[in-house]
């Protein structure tokens, strides 16, 4: 597997984003994640976007982080917000999400971010399992979906001793 940094608006990123939005629609019955995301949000050093390619060069997994600081949506100074973690169905269960998550944490830590935060939902138990088994703990709700009952927010400190 080959993990590459790409722009958020790279054609492969757009393709995988369309797939994750379709999955959100299946799970939640709505139009997908309405959180406003801009390509500039994921430009180093304020963020990064990663795609995993398989041995045939196909994009099979993705994830990114963007800097967040204190705002009216519940973020704190030094936050790195995890976005668009996704693995295509036929590649699930191979540890790709865990590898992407680790790479994103390392990158955010190197950029000086203090904690990684994420929002997911009750219809994504696999995601909740990944995050809690990776040291994430429930935190105060933040972001676009902070007032939604199905929303779940998690955080993990990114100190030098974080793993």
Q: What b/e sequence results for 81-120 when a residue is b if at least 16 CB atoms lie within 10 Å of its CB, and e otherwise?
A: bbbbbbbbeebeeeebbebbbebbbebbbebebbbbbbbb
Q: Which three-class secondary structure state does DSSP give residue 39?
A: helix
The whole-number average pLDDT for the span 52-67 is 97
- Give the chain's domains with CATH numbers: 2-115 (3.40.630.30)
Q: Which three-class secondary structure state does DSSP give residue 83?
A: strand
Q: pLDDT digit string (tens) for 76-85?
A: 999 999 999 9
Say which residue the tokens 């180093």 belong to: 44
Q: Are 142 and 73 in contact (CB under 8 A)?
A: yes
> Which of 38, 144, 33 has the alpha carbon at shortest distance from 85?
33
pTM flag (> 0.75)? yes
């Amino acid at each position: 597997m080959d993990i590459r940094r790409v722009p958020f608006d790279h054609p492969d990123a757009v393709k995988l984003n369309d797939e994750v939005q379709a999955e959100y629609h299946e799970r939640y019955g709505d139009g997908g994640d309405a959180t406003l995301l801009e390509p500039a949000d994921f430009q180093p050093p304020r963020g990064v976007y990663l795609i995993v390619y398989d041995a045939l060069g196909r994009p099979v997994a993705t994830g990114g982080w963007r800097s967040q600081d204190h705002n009216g949506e519940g973020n704190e100074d030094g936050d790195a917000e995890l976005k668009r973690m996704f693995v295509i169905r036929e590649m699930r269960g191979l540890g790709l999400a865990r590898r992407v998550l680790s790479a994103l944490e390392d990158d955010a830590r190197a950029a000086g971010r203090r904690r990684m935060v994420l929002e997911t939902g009750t219809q994504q138990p696999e995601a909740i399992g990944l995050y809690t088994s990776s040291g994430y703990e429930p935190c105060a709700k933040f972001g676009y979906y902070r007032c939604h009952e199905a929303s779940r927010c998690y955080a993990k400190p990114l100190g030098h001793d974080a793993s």
